[in-house]
Amino acid sequence: MAKKLRFQSPTGMHDILPEEQYYFQRINKVSEHIAGFYDFKKIDTPILEDAELFSRGVGLSTDIVQKQMYVLKTRGGDFLALRPECTAPIVRSFLQHGMFNLPQPVKLWYFGPFFRAEHPQAGRYRQFWQVGFEILEEKSSVVDAQMIQIFYNILQELRLKNLIVEVNSIGDSQCRPYYKKLLTSYLKVRESALCLDCKRRFRKNPLRVLDCKDEKCQQIKSQAPQILDHLCDECNHHFKEVLEFLDELELPYRLNSHLVRGLDYYTKTVFEIFSDVNPDKKNAANGSQVNEGMTSLAMGGGGRYDALAKLIGGRDVAAVGGAMGVERIIQAMKARRIKFAEEASAQIFIAQLGNLAKRKSLKILEEFRKEKITAAETFGKDSLKFQLNKANKLGVRYVLILGQKEALEKTILIKDMISGKQDTVKLDKIVDEIKKRLKRR
Ligand code: HAM
């Protein structure tokens, strides 16, 4: 057995190898295109933030803050956290840079790495990438629906099928406290039957019990009072409008009264989007977020967070947003064997033989680069057979061959790989000749 190398990437953190880059670039490109269409501007925030931004914003009692945050103490004694998510940093940035002075709403999007010390398993990493969209300073319910539409569009453009949107409303500071009380009394008398995790968290955050995947809690969950029956008039009206907009958009959604999300900053609308990850094996257990018997993993989620800006020391900023996990999207794309046409490869190949030819080839390569003609080469290899084989594999139309004789005569050979025809051309005319031939095709 091969000896295990001393150094491996940290548990739950992975290299993005060249073959994976292609998926990342594709998701980034599709997101960028859609962001442009809906007039979102790109934002990047630091990888490290004041840890308190998350304990206040995401919530002290959440798993993210309690168990999953990587926190480091600086030499100066500050506590910084590797960002576990981007909504709190974006609201921080919005307030810090006085973005309320910009034309409203402010629409921002991001694509970057995030960190959560989770138990690594399929689709759950300690460093993962998210693509996210946030609309700040807009309270209209129409943008809640638009936000869901944006994520749906991205996944559809990536050719993912069987997408399911789950929506719920978790109320606001008017109606949620009463519902929490109701739920707590319901759970209190059933506490002994709850799973260990829920026993621990139900007093601080009873809503999280509704999200529990443990078998033990399922029956208790199913008979629990439902928040939708206890929304205040404003939340009820807002949610009704969101559903009407989704109907208008013909987005296939379903109500999930147990959807509460794992971050504390949400008010009113919350949503998650699932895709069938394992279309070939309908019932295989796969991933951590198995959804009611279906092999599904949350591609993304989000919701409204009108109270977040105030929680982190600002003023009220009505806002809605969401984020999707890039690795999860890739996993779903791979499961569906989604491939895209390869990017345009090299148009020509430059083969060389001998030292003088090698020197001249280096220069010709630069001339082609300036003319934006993509040229491949393997200058480190001297065998002509190797070079021609490589050109063949790349499927280029023209191979330029520069041998010792041609280098001395200041000429070069063009071999048409389809017709097999060879022509000798003056070296200082080669770029024009290739331009002409490529234009003709
Ligand atoms: P979240 O549900 O925690 O929400 O994460 C969004 C998505 O990121 C998840 O649906 C999942 O696809 C991906 N994700 C989360 N954790 C991991 C992990 N450990 N490994 C791989 N992928 C993961 C948020 O982060 C909110 N900030 C979303 C939001 C934006 N809400 C409003 N605006």
Q: Is 130 in the pocket of ligand 1 (CB under 6 A)?
A: yes
Higher pLDDT, 429 or 162: 429
CA distance 181 to 162: 37
325 C-alpha to ligand 1 centroid (Å) = 6
* Cβ 43 vs Cβ 131: under 8 Å: no
Q: What confidence tens digit (pLDDT) does each residue in 217-252 have? A: 999 999 999 999 999 999 999 999 999 999 999 999
CATH tag, 18-175+231-335:
3.30.930.10
The residue whose CA has the least distance to atom 29 of ligand 1 is 322
- Provide the pLDDT for residue 170: 97
- What integer is the mean pLDDT of 349-370? 95
Question: pLDDT value at position 357?
Answer: 95
pLDDT (mean) for 305-317: 95
User: Looking at ligand 1, which atom is closest to the CA of residue 125?
Assistant: 20
327 touches ligand 1 (CB under 6 Å): yes
Task: Give dist(CA 360, CA 402) in Å, integer.
Answer: 8
**Confidence tier at 386 by pLDDT (50, 70, 90):** very high
Q: What is the DSSP string of 137-151?
A: S---THHHHHHHHHH
Counts for the chain of helices (H) and strands (E), in that order: 15, 16
Does the pLDDT of residue 176 top 90, yes or no? yes
Q: Which residues sit in the known binding site for L-histidine?
A: 85-87, 116, 130, 134, 261, 265-266
Residue 278 pLDDT more than 70?
no
Residue 10 has a pLDDT of 96
At residue 121, the pLDDT reads 87
* Arithmetic mean of pLDDT, 66-73: 96
Is residue 100 within 8 Å of residue 320, measured between CB atoms? no
Look up residue 176 and give its two tokens: 């949620």
Mean pLDDT of 383-395: 93
Annotated domain spans of the chain: 18-175+231-335, 348-440
Ligand 1 contact, 322 CB (< 6 A) = yes
pLDDT of residue 289 exceeding 70: no
Cβ of residue 172 lying under 6 Å from some atom of ligand 1: no
CA distances, 169 to each of 59, 180, 290, 352 (Å): 19, 14, 21, 67
| Tokens 């993005």 belong to residue | 16
Q: Is 166 in the pocket of ligand 1 (CB under 6 A)?
A: no
CA angle 163, 126, 275 (to 5 degrees): 5
pLDDT, tens digit (0-9, with 9 covering 90-100), for 127-165: 999 999 999 999 999 999 999 999 999 999 999 988 999
Superfamily of domain 348-440: Anticodon-binding domain (3.40.50.800)
Q: Which atom of ligand 1 is nearest to the CA of 300?
A: 10
DSSP per-residue string spanning 85-138: -SHHHHHHHHHHTTGGGSSSSEEEEEEEEEE-----BTTB-SEEEEEEEEEES-
How far is residue 407 from each of residues 85, 162, 164, 403, measured CA to CA in Å? 58, 60, 63, 6
Tell me the pLDDT band of 201, cut-offs 50, 70 and 90: confident
Give 306 Cα–ligand 1 centroid separation in angstroms: 19
Distance 302 CA to ligand 1 centre (A): 8
Residues annotated within the binding site are 85-87, 116, 130, 134, 261, 265-266
Distance CA 155, CA 140 (A): 25
Q: What is the model's pTM?
A: 0.89
